Structure 1
Amino acid sequence: MRKNVWLVVLAIAFAVAFVVLPGPLAASASGSSFDPDAFRAAFVPWWTAGSRALTPALAQFVDYARWYHGLRVLTAGLLLAVLVALAVRTRSLARAGAAVAGAVALLAVIDNLRKAVAAFGSLFPLLVDPSAQPALDQIRQRLAAGERTPPALGLIVEQYVRYHVVMLATSSVVAVVLLGVGVRLALRWRRGSDRWAVGSVAGLAVVLGLVAVVAAIANTTAVLDPLPKLLLLFEGSW
């Protein structure tokens, strides 16, 4: 019982760390606090120059995003590990609660992993703003024409594809694992005790596994034919 209490304390600590720590630590590591207006102001001259190489001003924001989401992957991963341990050690309602919280932590890991790997791409939605309108118009025109030039646009497309490759990989792995867990728990539910908790966790695993399958299919489309999807993003329909 005492070990379970410590696991609960750790879970709370990692949940708080997930919310509180990434911002200040990312600002310290990158040397810049995050400001969407300043990011857009740094993006426009980089786009105008047309080079793949990020300007120092723009690179700071990308570094911030990489650190921020990387730290969130770490804290959410630690939280997930603790919740899995709790789910294994507890029974009935507590096990179901730990499983639900673990599912949320897993989604947080996946979401922040893709944003850490494609840090520049994770910032693209912030560009849909009147202050970046001239650059947005040029990007939209080139994407609508099926172009990947100048080199700056080539980098944008690569970042978008990388973002969705990570999502495709993680969604596929998660789908296989969750569906496998769901089937195994369903078999245990048929012949074991503690049916309510086991059945609840099995149902949750299957539902989330099917959601992951849908996500994998959607991301496959984005990877194979990225320009139409990227155009929608820059039109504000992401």
Structure 2
Amino acid sequence: MSTTTPPTTWPGPSRTAGVPVRAAVLLTALAAALGTAFVLAPGPVARSLSGGGYGSRPELQGRLSASFVDYWAAGERSFPAGLRGLVDYWSRYHLVKAVTAGLLLAVLVALGVLLRKAYLRAGGLTAGRRAALASAGAAVTALALFSLAMVMANVQGTLAPFSSLMSMLPLHGPHGVPAGTLDEIRRQLAAYPDGGQSSPPVEVMVSDFGRYHAVLAVAAAVVALSAAAISAVSWRRFAVAASDRRTRRVLRSSGLFWALMAAAVAVIAVANTATTADPAPALLAFFEGGW
């Protein structure tokens, strides 16, 4: 009488208890690489694209201060060569950061979807492993939200680089903008547009500052609508979900989270829309040291 021993089945190397380990590791490594690139790549790439760069923040601020004073003294709409080079560099710098942050966001979304599916299939796991999956999903969600904020901010800097660059303008100190120049800018902004004596540089600054906030208003509106749509889908699926408590809990949490996200980002969209309609007071607040 012979007995046949059934073959032993081992889990494949790319999946452990419902978690596609190989895909998770690959996405995590890719996210780490993109995060590193987000920090290290913009400066060198922007320098190569614009034909020049700036070694440190103090150097950039020093050149910006001098170029801005020259621009104000010239009294023309067009930027002098030094300021034009700075603006071009800054636009490319933010473009690299926006692209890198966008790629990082896509990778984190893919990783988050993978972890969510693994959590929903985690019936056979211990409570500790389920908690680890939930914690990993929460961490990835937080990183994805940060990446989304970086995409929005850097698109803003790409499309309105002059206003983004002005946020680095030193208003005080030995290398700051001279007090006389600041006083004249403040006077014209306080009277804008009713004073009738706005110089071309002030008109350019106000116009670009309005565009700076318009870009963020549009981006925030798109994000708010997208978050509201995700929330609606989550609640709809929750309403027809089966009795599985884990699935219903995830859908309920998702619906609530994205509804709150939509409301918060909608506030940002409204605030920036208001600034877009009347940018001079907000710009004046910056030059008075309150922005």
Class of the TM-score when normalised by the shorter of the 2 chains: over 0.9
Measure how far apart 1:231 and its partner are: 0.8
Q: Please show how residues 201-220 of structure 1 align to structure 2 within 5 Å.
A: 201-220=254-273
CA distance in 1, matches of 2:140, 2:233: 18
Q: CA offset at residue 201 of structure 1?
A: 3.8
CA distance in 2: counterparts of 1:32 and 1:126, whole angstroms:
16
Q: Which whole-Å CA distance do the structure 2 matches of 1:235 and 1:106 have between them? A: 31
Query: CA offsets, 1:1-57, max 9 Å, x none?
Result: 212221111111111111111122223322121611211111101111111111111
1:103 aligns with 2:140: no
| CA distance, structure 2, for counterparts of residue 199 and residue 5 of structure 1 | 28
For 1:197 and 1:15, the matched residues in 2 are separated by 28
Q: Which amino acid aligns with 2:232?
A: V
Does structure 1 residue 154 correspond to structure 2 residue 213?
Answer: no
- Give the match for residue 88 of structure 1: 113
**Superposed CA offset, 1:188-235 (max 9, x none):** 345353445444443332222111111111111111111111111211
User: Residue 124 and residue 235 in structure 1: after superposition, are their counterparts in 2 closer, same or farther (change >3 A)?
Assistant: same
Asked if 1:57 is matched to 2:82, the reply is yes
1:9: which partner in 2? 29
Q: After alignment, is 144-153 or 106-115 more displaced?
A: 144-153
Write out aligned runs for 1:23-172 (5 A). Answer: 23-30=43-50, 31-33=52-54, 35-91=60-116, 92=119, 93=134, 94-130=136-172, 131-132=176-177, 133-147=179-193, 149-172=198-221
> If the length of structure 2 is used for normalisation, what is the TM-score?
0.76
Q: Which residue in 2 is equivalent to 1:177? A: 226
For these two proteins, the number of residue pairs brought into alignment is 238
Q: Name the residue aligned to 2:15.
A: none
Moved more, 191-200 or 3-12: 191-200
TM-score normalised over the length of structure 1: 0.92
Q: Does the residue aligned with 2:167 lie in a helix, a strand or coil?
A: helix
Unaligned 5+ segments in structure 1 are none
Amino acid across the alignment from 1:32: G
Amino acid corresponding to residue 221 of structure 2 in structure 1: S
Q: Percent identity?
A: 36
Aligned match of 1:226: 279
Write 1 or 2 for the structure with the bigger share of helix.
1
Aligned partners of 1:199, 1:101: CA distance in 2, in Å? 21
* 5+ residue gaps, structure 2: 1-19, 120-133
Q: Which moved more, 1:1-10 or 1:199-208?
A: 199-208
Is the deviation greater in 4-13 or in 204-213? 204-213
